Amino acid sequence: MLSSASNRVLTFTLQFSSSLKFSPKTHIDYRPRSLHSSIMRSASRSSPREALLDDRGCGGPITLEEWQRWGCISPVPAMVNAVIQDLKLLENNIDAHMVFGGNGGKLQGDFKIQEDKKHRAKYETLADSDKKFQFYSARQIACRLLGSRGYLCQKCWLPMEDCMCSKVKPSSLWHGIKFWVYMHPKDFLRQNNTGKLLWQVFGVQAATLCLYGISEDEEIMWNAFKDAGKAKVWCLYPNHNNAPKTVQDAFSHQTSADMECAYSLTNKDRPLNFVLIDGTWSNSAAMFRRVKEQAKLAWGEEDIPCISLATGASAMHKLRPQPSWDRTCTAAAAISVLAELQLLPECSTHGLDKQAEAVEDALIVLLEVLTTRRLRMGRSITRKVRHSRDIC
């Protein structure tokens, strides 16, 4: 984030060169052996499922190993395990099993009705608004974790039969950049989420997941920001309250040596931190407000430099529509930043174009896998308005 000269908001308007635009790499050739049998097999796999029984018991607590396999780097959130314990107690008291179904591991059936009453009653007892917010986030995440055990791959968040991990090629991100995927709980473990691709490609240290409302995650992220300094923290969000500024405007006056110094000689080799808000467009407004609130606590002012992207359609537009063609998914936003920075002479030696291409390749793999799954299940793959506010 920019310090003194920097109470301004950066708006990066990205124009791709022809070599950096999303290339038509996707060729989808579907020849199911039997459409009817494929649909029936998928329907059976997608039926309601009980919480996985293991040696810890149904709905057992989340261990650190399990938590971090899902892409997290923080300790297991205490409130998440507290919610799981409450679910287990309720299960014993009413003699009914936790049943999950659909995307996101949603509770279903009679247990859902009873749990809904209980969690609403507990929510009302929480006087502090921040505690209510944390409880809401923890409950969302706890249910998604329990509903996904033994069903989703822990790395790519896809059903086991559709795992794409072997098709994703890892890449090293330039050490002068770090991505933070600030994710809404409703997008955690979501199959068509694209933010997960960043740590699949670059690793969890270069692209780190931070779950909105989980204090353990947010503490790690903001400690890193305070350590780096405001001048090195930028939020990828269209903040319309401030005049836009392009990458060219922000960095073209700096020499290559200046760019090196920007991260390697100051603040103990701290990288440039880019925050990608990963949630629906409606949820992102609340998430951005929280970023500004935390910025005020950290630096005494809530004005935070923003990167406003104008990238056009990403590959995922073929399957998942956006509210408008100038809005894009999280992975495509990261691709855009890398691609535009690569066009600057001072950044041209860092291989950012190759790193952008690695994420694009992973995005295309995800698109192909999701499309194949939809066809197998007899679902439409044509672009229509389903979840018109998604940006994840």
183: pLDDT strictly greater than 90: yes
Q: With a threshold of 0.85, does the pTM exceed it?
A: no
Beta-strand relationship, 233-236 and 306-307? parallel
Q: Per-domain residue ranges for the chain?
A: 49-147, 160-377
- Taking residues 311-325, report their average pLDDT: 56
d(CA 285, CA 277): 9
Q: How many CA atoms lie within 13 A of 107 on its CB side?
A: 21
CA atoms of 158 and 217, how far apart (whole Å): 23
Question: Do residues 288 and 276 make contact, with C-beta atoms less than 8 angstroms apart?
Answer: no
State the Cα–Cα distance between residues 104 and 120, nearest whole angstrom: 20
Q: How confident is the model at residue 252 (pLDDT cuts 50, 70, 90)?
A: low
Taking only the tens place, the pLDDT of each residue in 33-52 is 332 333 333 333 455 666 55
What is the tens place of the pLDDT at every residue in 195-244? 999 999 999 999 999 999 999 999 999 999 999 999 899 888 877 666 65
Neighbours of 377 (CB within 10 A): 15
